[in-house]
């Protein structure tokens, strides 16, 4: 299992353990609250029972109390002793209404006041359980006579003593009772609560475990689906990237084939003429035309090879001044323009730059547009290459003063058509349009009429940080007439 799977397994285990710990803590807290409430109810029951017996004995000791007679301390203590005898009390104390200890048996009066824990005015009977009480502290005499000086559970109960129907109390009776029965009842309740809490935890843990296992399984399945989708998207991106690259290479190759048509047609004509002509035909103008055609073929092949190499290696990522690109285009077409009697000029903003890959593809488009303009324009016309900064990026304009595009070309613009030129394939504009798209730009026809034709190529501007020294070095490595 890889490290990712191990981390996921540990995370799931930690989540399950944390959830079970929270469940256990919640059940333990609720069980503890229930335990305290049940113990309080048991103590309240014991206190109310002692209170009822004490009041009943108090009424028996003074039958005239209902006629307004006052209780004497001896009468109250006698009633307390009677109730203590019925309940098997270990020791008893009697306090008057002022809170002073009046009688005690068998606890010494001077030892009892130090352990008082109830208020001066006791509204109702109260009880307190002492799990590890000392019989010696309650009554040393009783400890000697009965159980010795060991530790034992004790139940301490205090009850207010009142006359029947009276709002004020006569005093307070304090009972020390053997706490073994209460301790046994508490132990039974604790065992029952422990069993219930354990069953609740076991059932809840089993249910939560099943739910978490199901949830983790669903999450794992969803994760696997997401991973599969991610892999599919990665493959799709690779295929799209490959398709884009091969599409650009295909357009560049089509440009190469289209550019080779005219030079090859010229060579074919030269070979045909020399084959049937006199021997001196191999020299002179025909030879110069053949040399020029061969030079153009070599330059075109070198240019396409450079573009293909940069496209395949992904190295065309530096900045290129757009002015150098249009100047290289002008120099490449200068000899053809001079032979056709066409004035070729360049208008360029020097600060505009584009990246090298865009420059490579834009250079092919401009070369094709300029070549078409020179071939279409009559002698004496002009062809202008202009580059400027535009709102959408960098704009290249190629305009001429020729007669305009034929109607058939305008009707099927940027689609392959039947060419009217000798050796033409009718696909030059379609290839240029595709190359513009691969460069991340657009190619559009601005106008074409009797006064001339204008094409606009728009590409994005270079946004990377490039120093002037790096820019100069990149420009110095470029071959003459080629985009770096």
Q: Which tokens hold the place of 315? A: 């190295």
- Model confidence pLDDT, tens digit, residues 415-457: 765 555 544 445 678 888 888 888 888 899 999 888 899 999 9
Q: Cβ–Cβ contacts within 10 Å for residue 421, how many?
A: 14
Question: Assign residue 481 a region: left if phi > 0, alpha if psi is -120 to 50, beta otherwise?
Answer: left
Contact between 181 and 206 under an 8 Å Cβ cutoff? The reply is no
DSSP assignment of 223-277 equals HHHHHHHHHHHHHHHHHHHHHHHHHHHHHHHHHHHHHHHHHHHHHHHHHHHHHHS
One-character DSSP codes across 173-233: EEEEEE-HHHHHHHHHHHHHHHHHHHHHHHHHHHHHHHHHHHHHHHHHHHHHHHHHHHHHH
CA torsion through residues 393, 399, 404, 405, sign: negative
The DSSP secondary-structure symbol of 465 reads -
- Residue 34 forms part of a structural domain: yes
Q: Look at strands 169-178 and 89-96 and give their pairing.
A: antiparallel
Q: Domain for residue 330, yes or no?
A: yes
Residue 9 sits in the same domain as residue 150: yes
Q: State both tokens at 117.
A: 């824990």
Write the CATH number for 24: 3.30.450.20
Last residue of a domain, one of 130, 154, 178: 178
Domain membership of residue 39 as a residue range: 3-178
| CB contact set of 234 (below 8 Å; sequence gap of 6+) | none
Residue pair 102/171 in contact (Cβ under 8 Å)? The answer is yes
In angstroms, the CA 329 to CA 350 distance is 16
* Average pLDDT of span 373-397: 89
Instruction: Report the distance separating Cα 479 and Cα 477, nearest Å.
Output: 6
Q: What is the CATH number of the domain that holds 403?
A: 3.30.565.10
| 343 and 458 part of one domain | yes
Tens-digit pLDDT profile for residues 68-117: 445 566 667 777 777 766 666 778 888 877 777 788 777 655 544 446 77
Q: Specify if 238 maps to a domain.
A: no
Q: Are residues 174 and 247 in the same domain?
A: no
Q: Could you tell me if residue 483 is inside a domain? A: no
As a whole number of angstroms, the distance between CA 57 and CA 161 comes to 11
Three-state secondary structure call for residue 95 = strand
- Residues 145 and 269 reside in one and the same domain: no
Total domains in the chain come to 2
From start to end of 257-339, where are the E strands? 319-321
pLDDT above 70: percentage of residues in the chain: 64
Dist CA 353 CA 3 (whole Å): 48
Asked whether the beta carbons of 104 and 91 are under 8 A apart, the reply is yes
On the question of pLDDT at 276 being above 90, the answer is no
Please state, in angstroms and rounded to a whole number, the distance separating the CA atoms of residues 319 and 300: 23
How many other C-beta atoms lie within 10 A of the C-beta of residue 114? 7
Confidence of residue 473 (pLDDT cuts 50, 70, 90): very low
**Pick from 84, 265, 38: nearest CA to 178:** 84
334 plus 470 within the same structural domain: yes
pLDDT tens for residues 334-343? 888 888 899 9
Tokens, residue 210: 């099943």
Cβ-based burial of 248 (10 A; exposed 0-12, middle 13-18, buried ≥19)? buried
pTM for the whole structure: 0.46
Count CB neighbours of 171 within 10 A.
23
Least confident range from 8-22, 80-94, 123-137, 221-235: namely 80-94
User: Are 261 and 355 found together in one domain?
Assistant: yes
- Residue 250 included in any domain: yes
Predicted local distance difference test score (pLDDT) of residue 55? 79
Question: Judging by DSSP bridges, how do beta strands 343-348 and 382-390 pair with one another?
Answer: parallel
Residues 6+ apart with CB under 8 A from 305: none
Q: Can you read off the two tokens belonging to residue 15?
A: 């989540």
Last residue of a domain, one of 178, 209, 231: 178
Q: What pLDDT was estimated at residue 290?
A: 64
């Amino acid at each position: 299992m890889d490290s990712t799977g191990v981390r996921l397994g540990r995370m799931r285990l930690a989540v399950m353990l944390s959830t079970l710990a929270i469940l256990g803590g919640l059940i333990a807290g609720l069980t503890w609250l229930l335990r305290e409430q049940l113990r309080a109810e048991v103590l309240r029951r014991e206190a109310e029972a002692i209170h009822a017996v004490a009041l009943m004995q108090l009424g028996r000791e003074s039958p005239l109390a209902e006629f307004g007679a006052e209780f004497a301390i001896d009468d109250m203590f006698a009633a307390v002793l009677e109730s203590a005898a019925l309940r098997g009390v270990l020791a008893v104390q009697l306090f008057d209404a002022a809170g002073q200890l009046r009688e005690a048996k068998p606890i010494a009066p001077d030892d009892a006041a130090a352990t008082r824990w109830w208020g001066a005015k006791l509204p109702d009977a109260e009880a307190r359980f002492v799990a590890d009480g000392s019989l010696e502290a309650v009554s040393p005499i009783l400890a000697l006579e009965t159980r010795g000086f060991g530790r034992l559970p004790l139940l301490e109960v205090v009850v207010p003593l009142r006359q029947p129907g009276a709002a004020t109390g006569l005093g307070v009776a304090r009972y020390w009772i053997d706490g073994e029965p209460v301790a046994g009842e508490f132990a039974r309740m604790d065992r029952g609560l422990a069993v219930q809490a354990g069953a609740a935890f076991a059932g809840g843990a089993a249910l939560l475990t099943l739910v978490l296992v199901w949830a983790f399984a669903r999450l794992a399945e969803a994760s696997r689906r997401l991973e599969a989708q991610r892999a599919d998207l990665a493959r799709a991106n690779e295929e799209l990237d490959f398709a884009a690259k091969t599409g650009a290479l295909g357009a560049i190759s089509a440009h190469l084939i289209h550019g080779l048509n005219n030079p090859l047609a010229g060579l074919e004509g030269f070979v045909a003429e020399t084959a049937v002509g006199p021997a001196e035909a191999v020299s002179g103008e025909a030879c110069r035309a053949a040399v020029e055609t061969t030079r153009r073929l070599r330059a075109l092949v070198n240019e396409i090879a450079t573009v293909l190499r940069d496209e395949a290696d992904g190295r065309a990522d530096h900045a290129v001044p757009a002015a150098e690109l249009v100047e290289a285009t002008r120099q490449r077409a200068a000899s053809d323009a001079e032979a056709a009697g066409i004035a070729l000029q360049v208008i360029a903003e020097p600060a505009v730059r584009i990246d090298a890959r865009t420059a490579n593809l834009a250079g092919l488009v401009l070369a094709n547009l300029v070549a078409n303009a020179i071939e279409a324009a009559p002698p004496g016309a002009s062809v202008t290459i202009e580059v400027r900064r535009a709102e959408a990026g960098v704009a290249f304009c190629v305009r001429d003063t020729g007669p305009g595009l034929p109607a058939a070309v305008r009707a099927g613009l940027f689609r392959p058509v039947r060419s009217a030129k000798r050796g033409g394939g009718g696909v030059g504009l379609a290839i240029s349009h595709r190359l513009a798209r691969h460069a991340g730009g657009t190619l559009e026809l601005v106008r074409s009429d009797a006064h001339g034709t204008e094409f606009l190529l728009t590409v994005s501007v270079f946004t990377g940080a490039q120093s002037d020294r790096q820019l100069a070095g990149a420009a110095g490595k470029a071959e003459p007439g080629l985009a770096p």
